[in-house]
Amino acid sequence: MAMPKRIVSMALIASFICSPQLMAEDEMVKSIMELRSEVEALYSQIDNNKDAYKSQMKSYALQISDNEAQINRQETALKLTQQNIEKIEQKLEAAGSTTVDLKPIIEDALTSLEKEIKAGIPFKIDERVAALHQIKSDLENKNITQEKALALTWASYDDALRLTKEIGQFKQEITLDGKATMAKIAKVGSVMMFFATPDDRVGYVKQNGDNYDYVVTTDSTERDQIVELFDALQKQIRTGYFTLPNALLTRGVN
């Protein structure tokens, strides 16, 4: 009888010894399974991030391609203006001495420039066209000599070219919702133009066929970008890296 009791006691001791080991192994298996599940989730997230990144890069590539195409068209328009200036120079050279009547040449040059201004970005168009009309009027009424009119016309062409490169902040009257309002203007050469009104509306000029519209942005990101541009120009910062809404203009060069 002593023998069986001893065997049972040893079995019980073995059971107590093995039980913690089995529990530890069970916990380890559970931990491994949880880790494996987390790893699989991470791999899935990485795959999703890769797809999102590829999609974003594709979108950026398309936008860059579109911007480059519009800039190329703008450069072509600028070259056409320079060619017009060269034609005027050739006409002046052919005219020879100041005894030749320069009035027809000057009037043609002013008419051509007026068309360029009206076709270009809507930047102080009325003022610039009025200045050309004043030259024509003074020449017609003989308030200025032909030589003076020629110099003023040439200066107007120089000013038109300068505006294609000028970046700055200005003020002018614009039309929003059918009403005229004074606004701050941020002009980026002749390719982009943004505005900010006293009632905190901001936006950009959008080309619509032969016309230009003032579009108030409702996108918070675009708004922040435009406000940042105005702040930089207010601080006389005209160079650097800026992220701006895609508001490139391609019609005309002024």
Tens digits of per-residue pLDDT, 9-63?
A: 554 444 544 556 666 667 777 777 877 878 888 887 887 888 777 877 777 677 7
Q: What is the pLDDT of residue 100?
A: 66
β-bridge mates for residue 211, sequence order: 208
Q: Which residue has the higher pLDDT, 254 or 208?
A: 208
Q: How many CB atoms lie within 10 A of CB 68?
A: 10
Q: What's the pLDDT band for 252 if we cut at 50, 70, 90?
A: very low
Structure tokens at 131: 């200045």
Q: Dump pLDDT digits (tens) for 159-203.
A: 998 888 888 999 999 999 889 999 999 998 888 999 999 999 999
Q: Pick the residue with more confidence: 216 or 84?
A: 216
Which tokens is 110 given?
């002013």
- Using alpha carbons, list the distances in angstroms from residue 79 to 137, 223, 251: 30, 33, 13
pLDDT for the residue numbered 112 = 93
Give the chain's mean pLDDT. 81
State residue 37's pLDDT score: 79
pLDDT tens-digit readout, 50-89: 877 787 777 767 777 766 766 777 777 777 777 777 777 7
pLDDT at 137: 94
Q: Cα(243)–Cα(254) distance, rounded to whole angstroms? A: 23
Which phi and psi (to 5°) does residue 251 adopt?
A: -90, 120
Under 8 Å between Cβ of 224 and 244 = no
Among the ranges 9-13, 42-46, 99-103, 153-157, which has the highest mean pLDDT value?
153-157
Q: Are 241 and 178 in contact (CB under 8 A)?
A: no
Structure tokens at 132: 């050309």
The DSSP output letter for 177 is: T
pTM, 2 dp = 0.59
Query: How far is 195 from 187, CA to CA, in rounded Å?
Result: 9
The model's confidence at residue 236, banded by pLDDT at 50, 70 and 90, is confident
Kindly state the percentage of the chain with pLDDT values over 90: 37
